[in-house]
Amino acid sequence: MEVSSATSAANSATTNDAQSKLVGDYDSFLKLLTTQLQYQDPLAPMDATQFVSQLSQFATVEQAIVTNQKLDTMISGLNSSAISADIGLIGHNVQVAGKDFELKDSAATVSYGLDADAAMAVLTIRDASGAIVRTMQVNTAAGNHTVTWDGLDNSGNAVAAGEYPFELAATVGGNNEAIDPLLMSRVASVTIDPKSGSLTLNTSAGAVPIGDVRRVL
């Protein structure tokens, strides 16, 4: 959690530097003012209005810096809360957008959704060279569906375990439309970038940016 707000920490350091500089300038100004008042000509006193104006400006800047410090604290707290929630995903299954799935133990699963009934829906699985390994007709009804590939090619032969690119497409209202597929993965850990504070989920399907998560199961 200490890396939860690297950005906030940098902002806080900048604010503290500004505060220290202001204090130094403020002290210097008061010393100069005191010295000037001490040696001023009694018959021609200095204009007090100018000094009051400068004091007021210093006070305004000081208040602005204090406000920034409070905002830094609030942002740090919000970041910590968000990270705590993301760490709570560890051990859960999540669905993420993807175009490759892993064939393992003769099975690979993908989910998809249709907004309306389709005349046809097809899952096309390819190998690393782009050649078609398997073409499968899938559910055409509106709603969310899950498809499991049994690891067989179009000739009924078992293929090797590994990563396989795939596409999902449907024919709706006479138009062919690509379907955004969702892959299910189990979250094993969470990585936090110490510079940006961004989070990455380390899942059974590899590293997944938190923004790619579509559903938590």
What's the pLDDT tens digit per position in 169-180? 999 888 888 888
HSE-CB for 46 with a 13 A CA cutoff: 14
DSSP state of 217: -
Could you give the CA distance from residue 48 to residue 56 in angstroms, rounded to a whole number? 12
- Number of separate domains in the chain: 3
pLDDT of 145 above 60: yes
Do 197 and 135 share a structural domain?
Answer: no
CB-facing half-sphere around the CA of 38: CA atoms within 13 A: 6
Provide the greatest CA pair distance for the chain. Answer: 109
Same domain, 102 and 178: yes
Beta partners for residue 85, in sequence order: none
Task: Mark whether 102 and 169 lie in a shared domain.
Answer: yes
Q: Look at residues 87, 121, 145 and tell me which one is the last residue of a structural domain.
A: 87
Residue 31 pLDDT: 73
Q: Report the sign of the C-alpha dihedral through residues 89, 94, 100, 106, in that order.
A: positive
Quick check: is 1 in a domain?
no
Q: At 27, phi and psi to the nearest 5?
A: -65, -40
Q: pLDDT tens digits, residue range 15-60?
A: 556 666 665 666 666 676 677 667 766 666 666 676 667 667 666 7
> Does 92 reside within a domain?
no
- Assess contact for 182 and 166: CB atoms under 8 A: no
Q: 81 and 103 in one domain?
A: no
Q: Is the pTM of this model over 0.75?
A: no
Same-domain status, 47 and 105: no
- On whether both 103 and 178 belong to a single domain, the answer is yes
> Does residue 32 fall inside a structural domain?
yes
Asked if 121 and 68 sit in the same domain, the reply is no
Query: Containing domain of residue 203, as a range?
Result: 185-216
CB neighbours of residue 192 within 10 Å: 19
Residue 16 and residue 83 in one domain: yes
**Pair 138, 160 in one domain:** yes
Q: Is residue 211 part of a domain?
A: yes
Say yes or no to pLDDT of 140 above 60.
yes
Would residue 29 count as lying in a domain? yes
- 43 assigned to some structural domain: yes
